[in-house]
Amino acid sequence: MPATPKTTDPSGHLLRSISQIARVLAPLAARRNLVTAELPDGPFTARIIRADQGGKFIIVTATADESANAALLDRARVTFVSETGNWHIEFVAAEPCKLMHDGAPAIRLRYPEILAVLQRRRNVRHDAHPAVPLRCVADAGGITPFDAQIRDISTGGLSVLLYPSDIMLEPGTVLVGSRIKMPGTDPVSIDMEVRYSETVTLPDGSHVHCSGFRFIGGQDFIKRLIDTVEEY
């Protein structure tokens, strides 16, 4: 990216205004950057070729795989990811429909309402050692709790979780009252806001989803969590 989007959020950029989102999408479309969406039957990879200046729609290329196009068109909303330089960009777009653009098949979607852009490894990350049983029940205070594994945390208050591949979290989602249990302590409940999500392959070849989060409050707990990890 030519420049960092202007924002006061030190842990990453979660953009919601059309003008901010346009500053990220317009260069991607000008360079025809690759975008990927993880679908149940496999990834959909295309190029973003248009980002409407009025903030109404975006256009991505259709693929040669008609089944992949159909799978994307069947979804009401889809999360796209693009990697450029040291930046991870993720946005949610809705209402995909077919059209012809410059004489070629393409797919039009509603302009994203939210976009996440993060610089990789901005903060020092502390890997969760396998010997430390850091158990997390994500969204324990919400309507869809699930078990997740803490992979690493950072001094910026970010945690990276691994969780089953049949769950996909959109940027901006808040997991309410997530319970984290450290050795020798009672569980702590904390809200966590999703910053990005992606699919990762484990050493055994299986696939899981991985999301980065911003802890909402709980700075003392974050420090204790990092101190616990560093002890092992």
| Domains contained in the chain, CATH given | 13-119 (2.30.110.10), 125-230 (2.40.10.220)
Average pLDDT of span 3-31: 74
Please name every residue paired with 108 in a beta bridge, in sequence order, or none if there are none: 59, 97
Residue 198's Cβ-count burial label (10 Å; 0-12, 13-18, 19+) is: middle
pLDDT reading at 148 higher than 80: yes
Contact 200, 165 (CB under 8 A): no
Q: Which of 230, 144, 117, 140 is nearest to 191 (CA)?
A: 140
Task: Name the pLDDT band for 75 (thresholds 50, 70, 90).
Answer: very high
Q: Is pLDDT larger for residue 154 or for residue 6? A: 154
Least confident of 8-12, 147-151, 177-181: 8-12
Distance CA 98, CA 108 (A): 6
pLDDT reading at 157 higher than 80: no
Distance CA 82, CA 37 (A): 9
Residue 206's Cβ-count burial label (10 Å; 0-12, 13-18, 19+) is: exposed
Give me the phi and psi of 172, to 5 degrees please: 95, -15
> Tokens at residue 148, please?
């997740």
pTM of the model: 0.68
Helix (H) or strand (E) holding 68: helix 66-73
Please name every residue paired with 125 in a beta bridge, in sequence order, or none if there are none: 154
pLDDT, position 38: 85
Contact 114, 15 (CB under 8 A): yes
